[in-house]
Structure 1
Amino acid sequence: MLRRFTGWHMLAAMIGFFGVIIGVNVTMATFATRTFGGVVVKNSYVASQKFNGWLADARAQERLGWSTRVQVIDRRLVVIADAAGPLAGATMRATATHPLGRLPEVPLTFHEAEPGRYVANTRLPVGRWRLRLGVERGPDRAAFVEEVTA
């Protein structure tokens, strides 16, 4: 025996269809607002004015040929810096930022344990961190960004 498709059936189908869509949208919007840590740049116009300078800095850094490798040993960062051999005698500073902005930034200073091997003077709190690393030796400067887990 077949039942007729009535207006009540159509109403239930419409409520179910739009209920699923609205539920998914609310869920996604909630996840987006709870996990977004903030803005990428404070003023995009000002950032656009600095873009060519950033490109020139990147080309100058590339010509230096410096590279870094970051290790975490007992929640302490160890940076191995190379420049066709150990990069000795450099000054290294870093800022560790939580990717979602939930924990405060951690400024880090380093001492040179051996040529080309720099060890952070403080430990990082447990978690994932984005490390903005600045390396200077004489007039030469380089900046690196690394992701680490402490």
Structure 2
Amino acid sequence: MTSKTTRFTGKHMAAVFVGGFAIVIAVNLVMASIAVGSFHGTVVDNSYVASQNYNGWLKQAAASKALGWQAVPHRRADGRVVIETLAVPAGAAVTATAERPLGTREDTPLTFAAQGQGRWVSNEALAPGRWQMRTAIRAGDQAWAGEGELR
């Protein structure tokens, strides 16, 4: 038996380099296209304007916390959202906006009907999946705002 040995030459090394860089570039292109395709928009349209409102948002959050109100959202089997509240006065108005946190932007405004004993049920149903919900409760001149996640 004769054994044929091949030598590792500069051409082989060049092929290894080119192949290695081609793999890295291909993976980067795939990951970049996935990242761009799954980004559904900006968090704020103008970061400078948002920065000017930041202190106001902090004051609003502190005022909401000072009220002592609590709201916990969850979803029923039929897709309607139930908000269980604590310390919210009778006659309050509850509204919310549900947003998809990832993927294609989808915002759904929700209105709620009081069911008694601090329980509110949405008039609209949400599609299955993960949602980020921004809730607003207003009773007279008092306003509360909060966020919660629905799965």
Provide the TM-score with structure 2 as the length reference. Answer: 0.89
After superposition, give the CA deviation of every residue in 1:56-85 in whole Å (9 maximum; x if it has no partner): 1111111111111111112110000112xx
Equivalence for 2:14: 11
Equivalence for 2:136: 134
In the TM superposition, what is the alpha-carbon distance from 1:48 to its structure 2 partner? 0.6
In the TM superposition, what is the alpha-carbon distance from 1:4 to its structure 2 partner? 2.3
Equivalence for 1:105: 107
Aligned length: 147
Equivalence for 1:80: 84
Mapping 1:13-52, distance limit 5 Å: 13-52=16-55
Contact 1:87/1:115 (<8 A) preserved: no
What RMSD, in angstroms, separates the aligned Cα atoms of the two structures? 1.7
In the TM superposition, what is the alpha-carbon distance from 1:144 to its structure 2 partner? 1.2
Q: Percent identity?
A: 44
Quick one: distance in 1 between partners of 2:124 and 2:65? 29
Quick one: distance in 2 between partners of 1:39 and 1:87? 36
After superposition, give the CA deviation of every residue in 1:31-57 in whole Å (9 maximum; x if it has no partner): 101111100100011011111111111
User: What amino acid is aligned across from residue 58 of structure 2 in structure 1?
Assistant: L
Contact 2:40/2:105 (<8 A) preserved: no
Higher radius of gyration, 1 or 2 = 2
Quick one: distance in 1 between partners of 2:48 and 2:30? 33
* In the alignment, structure 1 residue 59 sits paired with structure 2 residue 95: no
Quick one: distance in 2 between partners of 1:51 and 1:122? 31
Quick one: distance in 1 between partners of 2:32 and 2:103? 19
Contact 1:79/1:119 (<8 A) preserved: yes
SS at match of 2:125: coil
Provide the TM-score with structure 1 as the length reference. Answer: 0.89
Contact 1:76/1:122 (<8 A) preserved: yes
SS at match of 1:50: helix
